[in-house]
Structure 1
C-alpha cells in the first residue's frame, strides 16, 4: 500500500537505516514498497539528534542510495536560523571507494543548526534510500591526511578553503552591516561550511605539457613582432577595440597588472574604458587618475554610488567609441597578442557580430592551467554554462541594440548580454577564435576558483536563460543541475503533442528485446506506437513473444522482413509503415531508465531548427556508451563516440560530458527525428547496411540547415558488449573499411571535420588532447592563415 507523503506534516519513516537524525519530514513524494516516488522538488527534512548537536564540532552526513531511475545529485540545505536559501547549501560528494552509492557532506557548527533539508533530485524520480546517517566526523582521519600533505601542500589546502570561505562572505559585504548576532552567526557558519566542503580534488596543478605548448606557441619573438606589424599595416580595417572594465576595490597590484597587460599589446588601436564603482580604497582612485594622465587611450569614469557590476559596466561602455567592445575583468590578464588576434579574425570575418576565444586560468601559485579549448558556438551548450566568456567581443551596434547590461543579472550580466545579442545576430555571425586570449585569475570570490564561489551569479544565469526561453517561445526551463554553476534544462509540455513511432529492428535476441519493450511500456505514452521490424527471427520463444505483442493492436505493430540484414533498410521499412509525426530509431538492446523521454523529444523537436535529438546511453555498469559522436576523428577518420567508458556521474571537459549540446552526429541506437525531415533527406542510406548509417543521416540533416543535439535527460541502458571491442575479424574489418571509404567518397574529409571538436585536439581518438602542430597561431612569423582554412570557421 502506498503511503502518501505529499505535504505531510507528521514525521515519516524512510524505510531505510537511519541514525543520528530525527524529526524526518518528507514532502512531495509517495513511499511504496520502500521506494520514494518523488515529484519535482521532492524533499527530506530532518534535525540532528541532540547528542550530535551538543557535542560535535563537525558532523558527517552520509546518504546511501540503493537505486534511482535518474541521476542522483544530492544537495543539502542548512538552516542556521535564517531559513533555507541557496547561500547555505552544499552538494554531497560521491564516495567512490564504496560499491554502493554513498554521498557524503559535512556540517560545521551543528550546535547552532536548526534543521537540514535534502533535495536528492530536481525531477520526478524513483529512489530507494538505503541509509541516512549523521555521525561525528572522523576528525582523526582528517588530521592524518592533513599531516601527510606536508607544509606546502597543507598551506595550499588551507589557502584554498580559506579563500572559498572569504569569497563566500564577500558576496554579502554590503549587507553585513546591521545584521543581528544570530544572522551574523548564520553567515559565518555558512561561509565556514562552504570553505570546508569546497572540492579541492580537482584543484589546478601545473601541467608541464601545457606549459611547454604555451612556450612553443605563445612566446613572441622579435620576428613575430615585426611580422604582426607588417600584417597590421596590410589590413583594410584597423578596428578600434574598446576594452570595457568595471572596477570595484580590487587588489591594487592586480589592477595595475591588468592595465599594464593592455599597454603591452602588439595591437595599438585600442582604448580602455574604466568605470570605478565607488571603490572605498582611495589608492584605487589615485592609480586610475595616474594611468589616465599618462596614457590618453585610458578613459576613466568615477561613479558616486556603488551600483554593482551591471551599472558599472554600462558606465564604462558610455565612454567607448570603438567599433567593437571587449569585456575584461579588473584582475585578469590578456596575452600581448590578444587584441591583434581579435583584429585579425575581424578582418577575416568582416560581417561578424560577436567573437569569443579559448581561455585558461592563472592559479593561486601563478602558473597557467585549465585551458578551455572550445568549438563552434553552440547555443544549446550555452544552456548549461557560459561557453562564450572569456574573451567576449561585441560589435558596437549589436551591443547598443541589445541595450547593454541589465540590472538584476549581476554575476551573469555578460551571460544575459550574450543571449540577447545572439537573438539579434544569429549563430552564424558568431566567430570562434581557437586560441587562448584570456587568463582568468583564481582568487577569492571568483568563479574561476569554482562555480560555487558566487551562487548569486548562477541564480542570475538561470534567470537570464529563462528570459531567453520566453523571448524565443521555447518550451524550456533552466534549473539547477546539481553541480555548482552548471544548469540543466527541464522541458515543458507542448500544445498538440505529436505521435511518436518507435522503430526497433530485431532478430531473435529475446533476452534483450523483452526488457526493451517492457521499459517502453513501463514509461508508456498515450501517443506512442512501437513498430518491431523482425528480420527473420527463428527461435520459437521469440516468435511466440512477437505474436503475443501483436495482439496489442493499438500500440504495437510487427513487421516481418526476411531479407539479408541491412539496418538502414529495416529502419526505412519501419518508417514507411509508421503513423507518427516523430520517429524514434531504437536498438533492441536498449532499456529506458528515465521518465519523460517522449515529452523531452517533443519539446526539442517543437523548436524549428532542431532536426535530430540523441540520447545518453549507458552500459549496465553505468559507464557511458554514447553521449554524442565527433566526426573526422578515430582510426578511420570518420567518427568516434566521445566520453566512452566515463562513469555516468563524472563531470569532465568543463562538464561537457554531462551537458546538453550540439554534435555533428549521434548514434542511431536511440535518436528522434521528424518523419518529414527523415523522408526529405532520404532516410538511412541503404548502401551503408551496418556502420556509419546514423552518422550519414545526421550529416544529411545538418546539411539541410537543421541541428543535431544530444540530451542528457534522455537516458537509456545500452547492453552492447563492452568486451566486444572493435570489429577485429578479417571480414568485419573489410566491411568497416568499405563503409569508411564510402563515407569519405560521399562526404569528403573536409565535410567530416567536426566544428564542435576543437581544431587543436588530436584526431586519432576523441581524447581532447592538444596536438601542438594542428593549428598555427596567426601571430607567428611566416603564418599566413590558420591551418583549417578561413579564420573563425572552426
Structure 2
C-alpha cells in the first residue's frame, strides 16, 4: 500500500486511526486494521497516476528502508493483523527491506495432491527438482505423474524414476494436461514443466495451500530465464490480449523497477502453464483446457474461472529457472521466418510455406481469443490503463 489513500471517516474512528509505536509503517498498520473487516468488493483501486513522490535525503522514495525501524514496525503491524484474524502464518523476510512473505501453515489433514511433470522430448530432470519433490512428499501426501508431451503417441513412455507413474504420451501440451488430470487421483493438481529448476526458497506446498481456498481457481509461480524474468503471471493488455508481466526484466534491475511486487502474492488474469496449482474438480467442471487455444489455453481456463468470481494468483513461493529453448521461442522464430520469407507473392521454400501456415494459424488463434475474452481483458481490474503494452511494443511495459 502507498501513502495516498481515502477512507470513510467513521471507519478510521472505529479502528482508532494512526497508532503510536509504528513510525515509518503507520499507513501500513492502519490499512491492515481497516481491511481486517472488509470484503474484496469494498476495496477499490484507481488505476491512474494521481501524484508523484518527491525524493529527498532519508526518503523511502530514494531507498527502501532508509528510515530506521521501518522493517521492525512493519513486521509488528503484520503480526498484529495475523493475530486479529486468527491466522498462524509464518512471517518470512523476502530478501528486500520492508517486504515479507506469509508462509501459510499446513492443513491438519492435507488432501491428496497429484504433481504432473510435463516433459518435452529430451528433457532431463534436475537433481534439485527431484529433491524439491521429495521434500514436498514429506510434507504433503502426493503422487508424481510423468506426462510426455509434444511427441508421437506411438512413442514409449518411461518415467525417469521408478516411484513416478508414466502416462501415455500426448501430441500437445494442453492435451497432455487434460489427460493427466483425468488420470490423477489427487484432489489437488500441480502442473510443472519437467525442465524447471527450483530456485532457493521454492516451497510448492504453499501453492497447494492457496489452491484450497474457495475463492481461488489457480495459483501460479514465477519463472526466470537467461538472467531475466520470463513469466510471473499474465496481465491484460490494451488490445484485448494478455502478456507476461515485465518479461525480460533483468534480475539485477528488479530492486529498482519491480519494487517488491514479485515478492508478494498478486492477482493476475492467468498463471504460467509451466507452474500452476488448482482443484481437480474445478478443472474437470470446466472441461479442462481448450486445446484450440494452444499456448493460450491456460489463459482461457483462468478467464473462464474469473467469470465465476474466482481468482488467479501468482505466488512468490514458487520461484523457478527454465533452461534451454522454450516452445514460445520456437513459435517466435517460425513467425519471424514466415514474415521475412513469405512476404512476397510466392513462398520460395517449403519451409517458408510451412511457417506461413503456422503464422496464419497462430493469428487465427489470437483472433478467436480476442473475440471471446477481449472485453473481459480490457475491463479487468488488474489492468492499468496507464501502461500501454501492446503487440507493436513487444508486449513491454513503458517504464
TM range (shorter): 0.7 to 0.9
In structure 2, what is the Cα distance between the partners aligned to 1:684 and 1:609?
A: 20
Q: CA deviation at 1:575?
A: 0.9
In structure 2, what is the Cα distance between the partners aligned to 1:605 and 1:505?
A: 20
In structure 2, what is the Cα distance between the partners aligned to 1:664 and 1:720?
A: 26
Question: For residues 480 and 586 of structure 1, do their structure 2 counterparts lie closer, same or farther at Cα, with a shift above 3 Å needed?
Answer: closer
| In the alignment, structure 1 residue 410 sits paired with structure 2 residue 23 | yes
The correspondence for 2:178, drawn from 562, 568, 572, is: 572
Question: For residues 523 and 440 of structure 1, do their structure 2 counterparts lie closer, same or farther at Cα, with a shift above 3 Å needed?
Answer: same
| In the alignment, structure 1 residue 760 sits paired with structure 2 residue 364 | no
In structure 2, what is the Cα distance between the partners aligned to 1:444 and 1:570?
A: 56
Q: CA deviation at 1:750?
A: 4.1
Secondary structure of 2:295's match? coil
Mapping of residues 216-255 of structure 1, within 5 Å: none
| In the alignment, structure 1 residue 623 sits paired with structure 2 residue 228 | yes
| In the alignment, structure 1 residue 645 sits paired with structure 2 residue 251 | no
Give the corresponding residue for 1:679. 284
| In the alignment, structure 1 residue 715 sits paired with structure 2 residue 319 | yes
Structure with higher RCO (Cα < 8 A, 6+ apart): 2
Give the corresponding residue for 1:600. 206
The correspondence for 2:190, drawn from 560, 577, 584, is: 584
Question: For residues 738 and 762 of structure 1, do their structure 2 counterparts lie closer, same or farther at Cα, with a shift above 3 Å needed?
Answer: same
| In the alignment, structure 1 residue 693 sits paired with structure 2 residue 297 | yes
Question: For residues 524 and 476 of structure 1, do their structure 2 counterparts lie closer, same or farther at Cα, with a shift above 3 Å needed?
Answer: closer
In structure 2, what is the Cα distance between the partners aligned to 1:611 and 1:412?
A: 32
Give the corresponding residue for 1:224. none
Give the corresponding residue for 1:737. 363
Q: How many residues end up aligned between the 2 structures?
A: 370
Question: For residues 740 and 445 of structure 1, do their structure 2 counterparts lie closer, same or farther at Cα, with a shift above 3 Å needed?
Answer: same
Mapping of residues 767-782 of structure 1, within 5 Å: 767-769=396-398
In structure 1, what is the Cα distance between the partners aligned to 2:3 and 2:111?
A: 40
In structure 2, what is the Cα distance between the partners aligned to 1:759 and 1:538?
A: 44
Over residues 25-58 of structure 1, what are the superposed CA-to-partner deviations in whole Å (9 max), with x where a residue is unaligned? xxxxxxxxxxxxxxxxxxxxxxxxxxxxxxxxxx
Q: CA deviation at 1:586?
A: 1.8
Q: CA deviation at 1:544?
A: 7.7
Q: Is the 8 A contact 2:231 2:244 kept in 1?
A: yes
Secondary structure of 1:434's match? coil
Deviates more, 1:530-539 or 1:575-584: 530-539
Q: Is the 8 A contact 1:475 1:494 kept in 2?
A: no
Question: For residues 703 and 595 of structure 1, do their structure 2 counterparts lie closer, same or farther at Cα, with a shift above 3 Å needed?
Answer: same
Q: Is the 8 A contact 2:48 2:384 kept in 1?
A: no
TM-score by length of 2: 0.81
Q: Is the 8 A contact 1:632 1:754 kept in 2?
A: no
Question: For residues 411 and 520 of structure 1, do their structure 2 counterparts lie closer, same or farther at Cα, with a shift above 3 Å needed?
Answer: closer
Question: For residues 473 and 701 of structure 1, do their structure 2 counterparts lie closer, same or farther at Cα, with a shift above 3 Å needed?
Answer: farther
Mapping of residues 341-352 of structure 1, within 5 Å: none
Over residues 387-432 of structure 1, what are the superposed CA-to-partner deviations in whole Å (9 max), with x where a residue is unaligned? xx33211012222232322333232122111122222232222222
Question: For residues 596 and 438 of structure 1, do their structure 2 counterparts lie closer, same or farther at Cα, with a shift above 3 Å needed?
Answer: closer
The correspondence for 1:666, drawn from 268, 271, 280, is: 271
Over residues 567-594 of structure 1, what are the superposed CA-to-partner deviations in whole Å (9 max), with x where a residue is unaligned? 3232122111111121111223323344
In structure 2, what is the Cα distance between the partners aligned to 1:536 and 1:411?
A: 53
Secondary structure of 1:604's match? helix
Q: Is the 8 A contact 2:218 2:276 kept in 1?
A: yes
In structure 2, what is the Cα distance between the partners aligned to 1:759 and 1:486?
A: 26
Q: Is the 8 A contact 1:568 1:693 kept in 2?
A: yes
Question: For residues 484 and 423 of structure 1, do their structure 2 counterparts lie closer, same or farther at Cα, with a shift above 3 Å needed?
Answer: same
Give the corresponding residue for 1:530. 144
Secondary structure of 1:759's match? coil
Q: CA deviation at 1:522?
A: 5.0
Structure exhibiting the larger radius of gyration computed from Cα positions: 1
Give the corresponding residue for 2:350. none
In structure 2, what is the Cα distance between the partners aligned to 1:451 and 1:494?
A: 35
Q: Is the 8 A contact 2:247 2:396 kept in 1?
A: no
Q: Is the 8 A contact 1:475 1:493 kept in 2?
A: no
Q: CA deviation at 1:474?
A: 4.2
Mapping of residues 436-585 of structure 1, within 5 Å: 436-506=49-119, 509-513=121-125, 518=130, 521=133, 523-526=135-138, 527-535=141-149, 543=156, 545-546=158-159, 549=161, 551-552=162-163, 556-561=164-169, 565-585=171-191
TM-score by length of 1: 0.43
Secondary structure of 2:50's match? strand
Q: Is the 8 A contact 1:604 1:610 kept in 2?
A: yes
Gaps of at least 5 residues in structure 2 are 336-354
Secondary structure of 2:291's match? coil
Gaps of at least 5 residues in structure 1 are 1-385, 771-794
Question: For residues 580 and 394 of structure 1, do their structure 2 counterparts lie closer, same or farther at Cα, with a shift above 3 Å needed?
Answer: same
In structure 2, what is the Cα distance between the partners aligned to 1:484 and 1:521?
A: 30
Q: Is the 8 A contact 1:415 1:461 kept in 2?
A: yes
More strand by share: 1
Q: Is the 8 A contact 2:218 2:278 kept in 1?
A: yes
Q: Is the 8 A contact 2:158 2:166 kept in 1?
A: no
Secondary structure of 1:512's match? coil
Deviates more, 1:736-745 or 1:595-604: 595-604
